[in-house]
Structure 1
Amino acid sequence: MTSDQLVAAPETALPTLRGAVAGLPSYVPGRRGTGADIAALASNESHYDPLPAAVAAVAEAAGRMNRYPDMAAVELRERLARHLGVTAEEVAVGPGSVGVLQQIITGLCDAGDEVVFAWRSFEAYPILVELAGARPVRVPLDDSEGHDLEAMAAAVTDRTKVLLLCTPNNPTGVPISHGRLEAFLQSVRSDILVVIDEAYVEYADAGSGPDSLALYRRYPNVCILRTFSKAYGLAGLRVGYAITTAAIADGLRRTALPFAVSALAQKAAIASLDAGEEMEARVSAVKQERARMAAELAAQGWTLQPSQGNFLWIRADDALLARLVDAFDHAGILVRAYPGDGVRITVADPASNNRVLRLLEAHAA
């Protein structure tokens, strides 16, 4: 075809986004603050510096950042396998647990399939589901701010492909007990993948939630989802993982963005696992602060459900929520507000926690 035979394209024709993308709500991250007097308590990050071993591992690996990372993350997967008593073939890694969750939904769901989850729960759930062309099915929390498993079971249809269970739940902090979860699994079809999202599991008191590994060994349709972003303090490096059957894990690796988990992140995660005792000491300190804050807030008259995460949850209607957020903003304390539901406050260092307690005391009923 010669140049004089080319037909000019219509000037009004422009690329457009898929309808599913154009209609997606934006993920709302915790607000950031840069001032020395700002208490950033909106993102549930660890308020400790990274573990020294992780920093050293990153510094050593940085000298080879001109090379691609191991796409299969073999060393990390083998280390996780030893840590959890599974095989490396049952481990899939990704850029944070949310990245692995995207691999799960992409790998299992076709357009029109359904993913059932509690609401309110992790804000990324409906976004990832809709992005895949699947249909999110939100099931309201029960009166104790936890998962209504009976209602979730009733919401299952022949199009259900995945069930998401966040324990302890984000943002309410309420776990699912082992007995309730096992009874639920007995009632769920074996062809539905049940994802136990345990981003905050390290902060949970022993026995408060499920023994997910034991459930996985008994129910092969269970998938365990965890992260290094919270207790291990690697939020800025983005590395999470799933424990699932070898066949599903292989599929998750196939759906992963190539080289998504950097070499620095892989080395830091391995070093963090090796420094488990130091991590657990930090977690213990957070749990002590969580208990102290919960007791003081209860004495002030606030009604809280016992949290098993590194955060506290206050149920609030929009009027109370507006007053609280305005007060926190003026005090230089950044918290996470959920319109229509409540406010989540990360448990941080004692000084920051004391600022929270003083403010809430002034606004207690």
Structure 2
Amino acid sequence: MKTDRTVRSPRHAVAERPFIVIWECTRACPLACLHCRATARPERDPHELNGEEARDLMRQTARFGRPAPLFVITGGDPFQRRDLNDLIAYGTSLGLRIAVSPSGTPTLNRANLTAVREAGAVALSLSLDGSTAERHDAFRGVDGVFAWTLDGWRTARDLGLKVQINTTLTRRSLPDLADIAALVRREGAMLWSGFLLVPTGRGAQLDAPTPQEVEDALHFLHDCGAVIATKTTEGHHFRRVAVQRAIHAERGTRPELGALHAELTRRAHEVGLFDGQLRARRRPPMDVSSARGFVFVSHTGEVHPSGFLPVSAGNVKHTPLPDLYRTSELFTSLRDPGRLRGKCAHCEFSRVCGGSRSRAHAVTGDMFAADPSCAYQPGTFPHQAELRAVLAPASLRSGSSCDR
């Protein structure tokens, strides 16, 4: 078994260039989502990057080289910026691949989505946190969001935009995961991402899943990979799960999981999630983490390892993004697996996982602490010999190595 069949690595050294750049173009948004990292508000911040500063950020991103990182314009709600389409067109002219992550509001209409596509955007990222209007709208804080999201989703697909669906994993949403997965499969999406809650912003008030519930949910997402392309956000131990499940599959064994996984599996079969044709090949998760292939630029230009890790390396108004990404002490330290503490430091999966530095920081105040959402105890995987053989090629991988 090869690691690149279970976990993919970026083609370029993650110490030199990110796989993805996310720009928070504004914090303005008419919704009041319970988990909002940005604690978004109705009005735009007068200090957010203006049009010329935004274009300069795009030029800085293009200087990472080709193929350029994926450039995601998020918010708040990007449709609150009148210059959105001009910026998409400019970034596209520089060779950037542009994706947009709008909110589910009446602005998610055919006219706006057509303009976004014609400006050059290649993909759209939408949030779905419930399988029904009642569930989703309660989470988003505004009635009608579910219907607007579905309409925008279908319109984007009709227009030829790739669509990624994001679902926040909280204790409240976990029982609904099988029904959400069935909806995603039925409507069609390029990718379904499970966002494992980081208790920051408004999300600090939500009830986070227990480590065992997280483990069950990640294994269920892996199961869903047979019929939907799946990934996680801030759930880096999904990569550990992918490796473990691949070894179990080769040996004809199964992991021991909890009650939530059993209930989700029962419900999945009840709604026919796994009926019909399976995917020809499971999508391997990408080995990208905070500062390791990933960088976030705030609405005011502050550069963070993640949007959920509010520690700044500097500002793009004063220091070019490539310099901050490659040489800042914050970013270089996060690329050093030797800085990990607690059980993450001793885990045999540390180089393929490493845990969420955002969650460690939010819960403990120490970005190098063990990820508090992980149930795995180092050394307890039963097939260690096979694991060593699988991870041997990855043992050379670090923030300063040349990833494939």
- Is this a same-fold pair by TM over 0.5? no
- TM-score with structure 1 setting the length: 0.29
Using structure 2 for the length normalisation, give the TM-score.
Answer: 0.27
Asked which structure has the greater RCO (Cα within 8 Å, sep 6+), the reply is 1
Q: Which protein is bigger by CA-based radius of gyration?
A: 1
